[in-house]
Each structure stands twice: as C-alpha cells, then as structure tokens.
Amino acid sequence: MFPSYWCIRGPPSHPIQQLRLAAESDGASIPLCAVAARYDYREQRRPCLEGTRVGVLTQVREWMGDTPGGHEGVKSEPTIFWINGLAGTGKTTIAYTVAQECHGAGNLGASFFCSRDNAQCSDPMFVFNTIAYQLGIYHPPFRAAVSEALKVDPLVVYGSVSRQIEELIVEPMRMVDFPPCIVVVDALDECKDDQSTSLVLSSLSLHLETLSPLKFLITSRPEHNITTGFASDRLQPVTNQLRLHDVGLDVVETDIRRYFCQRLGEIRGSYDIENPWPSENDINALTQMSGGLFIFAATTVVFIEDKNYSDPVDQLHRLLHTARISGSSPHQHLDSLYLQVLDNAFPQISKELAGRLKAVLGSVVLLQDPLSPLDLKHLLGVPLHSVRATLKHLHSVAMVPDTDDRPIQIIHPTFAEFITDPSRCTNNTFTLAPQMQHTLLFRQCMLAMVQLRRDMCDIRDPRKNNVDISDLPERIQTRIPPYVQYACCHWASHLKRGSVSVAILDSLREFCTKRLLFWIEVCSVLGALSGAIRALHDARGFLEVRFHHFHSR
C-alpha cells in the first residue's frame, strides 16, 4: 500500500485523515498540511489583555494599513514585519492577537505557529506546504491552481523547501488574481533548521516580488541563522524590524502590572479572599521580579491559582518569600520561579519518586509529539495512576488534561530549556539529562513496535492506495494505538540524540531483522513514508558516527 502523496498528515492521535478524505471528495489534490500549526489550534493560546502591548500592536496595525478587512492598506510596504525578542517576552501572544484580528477582518491568508514539541510544527518541510493549503482555503481559484500542480508532480510536497514555495505558492499565484492578505509565522526559531541561514527565509527571499499580494508577520528569537537571513540584501530592504527587548522596561512593566492586577483580582473573587489582596507591595514585587518577561507573569498566576493547593494567599506568600535569586542571567527570576514550582510540588522527594519524575516529566519534555496520559503509560510501561500522580502538582508548567485520551503538553519552551540545563536548574534532583532520556525513549519505542505485524489495518489488498480506503482513519484508530504510531514515527529521532551501547545495537539488529518490513507498511498506512526514509538515514548516520566512537574507546 502506498500513501496518497498529497494527504494531510496530523498528530498520530488526531483524525486528520478524515479532513483529507473530505477535501479530496471533489477530486482535488491538496498539499501536506500541519493542521496543528493553525494559530487557533491550541486552546490555551490567548490574545493580549486589553490595554496591553498597545505600542507594539499599533505599529503592526499601521504596517498592515490599520484597515480591518480593507485590502488597500495591506498592500503598503514593506512586505515583512519581523518581531524578535528573547524567550518569554510575549511574541506568540502578539502573533495570536494579530492573527485573530486578521481572521475577524477577513484578511488572514494563512498562519503557521511553529512549536518544538510537535514534529510537524517544527519541520521546515511543512511550512510552505501548510501555507499553500491555507491560502487555497482563503482563495479557491488558488487552490485549483495548486491542485493542478500536484497532479503534475505529486512528489513536490517532499521536495526541498525552496522548490515547495516555488511550485506550490509562487507559480500558482502567477496564474490567479490573488487578493492581498496577511500570513502570520510565529516562533520561526522553533523550526528545527541547522542551516547557517534559515531555509524558510532564504527560500522566501527569492520570490518576494511574485508574492507581493502577501504580507508576512514573522516572530522569532534573535537566533543567528534567522538574523543572518533578515540581514541579507534581499530581505533587509523590505523588512520592518521590532525588537521587543528594545521596548522600554517601564512600558513592559506597566503591561505586566496591569496583567497581575486583573488576573489576581479575578482569583481574589473566585476564592472570596478579603481585600486588600494582593497588596500594592505584592504587585510591585511581582512586577519587578518578572524582569519584563510575560511568561513569568503567566506562570506566576497559574502557580498562585493552582487548584491542587486551593490556597492563593499561601502560594503568593511562598513565592515572594522563598524565591532564590542568584547569578546574572536574564532569566534568573524565571528560573527561580520554576524551581519554586518543582520544590512546592515535591518538597521531600524520595529517590524512587525522583527517578519516576525524570522518566515521566522527561518524556513529556522531550517527546517529538505530545502523548496522552494513557499512551504515555503504554509507551513507558508505568501505571496510569503513576503518570497522573507524578504530574499532579505541575499545572503551572504543564497542561495535564482531565481525561486520559488528551495530550499532555509543556506550557512554554522556557521550562524545557530550564530543566535540561544544569546551570539553570541548580537542584540536581530535578535536572534532566537529555541524552539519557532520549535513550530511554528509544528503548521504549523499540518495545512498543514489538507488536507490529503484517497488514495491521486488515486491508488485505496491498494494491489499494490510502485514498481509496474510505474507513482508513477508523482502521488506524482501532488497530494502531497512538503510542505505537508515535514509536513508528519517532524512534530514530530519539536514537540519534541518545547514547550507544551493546543493548542499543542489539535492539536495532532485532528490529531490522524481524520488524522492518512491518514498520514500513505501517508508515505507508500513516502517510509517513518520507519520514521513514529520513529515519533510516538518521539511523545510518548514528551508526556510522557512534559505532566508530564505541569501538575506539
């Protein structure tokens, strides 16, 4: 069975193929699409609090023409507005606010919110495929042009990033009268791109004239490969740049103070706490501790409100009186807050619990795609109650669903960076060792794939294409559990980031001799053959480098 080369792929546990079947019911071909990259896919994303970020949003609106729904303003120069800032400065909230406003005004052409905890949303190969798909929804004649291009060459969706933008966006745009619109790309630095210049930016820079109906709002950290891209001769003249870390601290702190006043006021009402709470001094102290980082403010509010403790007064008291500030890092207060969250959740942690915490929380932090509590239980081989008990008091940093079939997700990437960096997470009880954790996840992926067998979806006819099997999503859902799908898609990612040992080599040998063909068949059913090719390439590279090192010791 071979995949439909233009099917939509989504998170393993998400019934994305139903969208593919619906979209292709009229005979149209559509590009690969990371559905989770839409600005409104994650429920926890929120717009800026009213009255905050006024200066930044005003600049963006002026760049767009400040004409909601009006196309004349959207055509104004320059073509790109780049917002960059350090981690936790509120870039995603600003991007979400702009995307939401544009959607309401009818001029949001596409959005791609990168996320390092989602394999597709962090893959440059999905950026222009997804934008092409959304632009096709925005303007149906463009969709028809893209569909024709895919009929000529279905494999273009697996081509280079530069080829994707040329054949799926630039050429189709030449064939239609495309209305002006906004494209929002958030957190470009979370795309896993090790090139000296961002692949997305270098590809975009080659076609700006043809793409003139589109205006791009891009946010990122000021990473080297991104700043290099924007400094190029092609992009620099057509880019407005706004550095959030250049915005006056007094302006930012005014916004953060407003946020604290409103959110803590809501908590006071919810818990019937008598006034004055919080005090003026409390608000001032929290605002100063934030250091201009909105993620500090957001995490602080969740920590104080945590219903597992149901004592906001005591939570605030603990935070203000036990915060440990040391060093000169710009994230010192945020690191102190994260340590306080962990210390509060595990005040007298045993050696056994510390080991379980690292296994469970470490997996949540380093998974390539989020898994539910139930699937994490199966993948790690630990009881479900242990997964929930371990994460019960970590709602300030992780979204743990009430049901067992919804994914667990880290709220902000700064926590993952903190807990894997021993210079920031100074309590060794909590510090994660990424290489060790990836090795554990690789071993568990190998164990999960032991259950692979021939024709797991009971299709019985290997000549059928995926698109010809109307109930394929249901077959996948009932016959290939999400944690097995995860193992099939990501074992190589964990392998190349892990350590080598005789046991690892033995498990690879057993997999290749007993289950390789079954794995390829499952990847085909999942529409993930291109990922399978990359996995084999990564595994070979791992063996060439690590095997030599292993035998030279």
Q: What is the pLDDT of residue 548?
A: 61
Q: What is the pLDDT of residue 20?
A: 42
Last residue of a domain, one of 322, 353, 374: 322
The verdict on 224 and 299 lying in the same domain is no
The verdict on 48 and 128 lying in the same domain is yes
The verdict on 519 and 485 lying in the same domain is yes
Q: What is the pLDDT of residue 101?
A: 96
Q: What is the pLDDT of residue 16?
A: 38
d(CA 98, CA 301): 24
Residue (of 421, 304, 436, 437) closest to 364 by Cα position: 437
The verdict on 73 and 138 lying in the same domain is yes
The verdict on 265 and 294 lying in the same domain is yes
The verdict on 135 and 178 lying in the same domain is yes
Contact (CB, 8 A) for 409 and 416: no
The verdict on 241 and 261 lying in the same domain is no
The verdict on 75 and 134 lying in the same domain is yes
d(CA 65, CA 72): 8
Whether residue 516 lies inside any domain: the answer is: yes
d(CA 309, CA 315): 8
Whether residue 40 lies inside any domain: the answer is: yes
Whether residue 347 lies inside any domain: the answer is: no
Whether residue 6 lies inside any domain: the answer is: no
The domain that holds 100 is classified in CATH as: 3.40.50.300
Last residue of a domain, one of 288, 322, 356: 322
Q: What is the pLDDT of residue 27?
A: 45
d(CA 267, CA 488): 44
d(CA 152, CA 23): 18
The verdict on 209 and 220 lying in the same domain is yes
d(CA 529, CA 70): 43
Q: What is the pLDDT of residue 188?
A: 96
The verdict on 141 and 241 lying in the same domain is yes
Whether residue 22 lies inside any domain: the answer is: no
Last residue of a domain, one of 246, 269, 300: 246
| Number of folded domains that form the chain | 3
The verdict on 189 and 241 lying in the same domain is yes
Whether residue 330 lies inside any domain: the answer is: no
Domain that holds residue 204: 31-246
The verdict on 242 and 260 lying in the same domain is no
**pLDDT string in tens for the chain (553-residue length):** 323 333 333 333 333 343 343 344 344 556 678 999 999 997 778 999 999 999 999 999 999 984 344 344 444 568 999 999 999 999 999 999 999 999 999 999 999 999 988 989 999 999 999 999 999 999 999 999 999 999 999 889 888 999 999 999 999 999 999 999 999 999 999 998 877 778 999 999 999 989 999 999 999 999 999 999 999 999 999 999 999 988 999 999 999 999 999 999 999 999 999 989 999 999 999 999 998 999 999 999 999 998 888 899 999 998 988 665 544 455 888 999 999 999 999 988 999 999 999 999 999 999 999 999 999 999 999 999 999 999 999 999 999 999 999 999 999 999 999 999 999 999 999 999 999 999 999 999 999 999 999 999 998 888 888 778 888 889 999 999 999 999 999 999 999 999 989 999 999 999 999 999 999 999 999 988 888 998 999 999 888 876 665 555 5
Whether residue 512 lies inside any domain: the answer is: yes
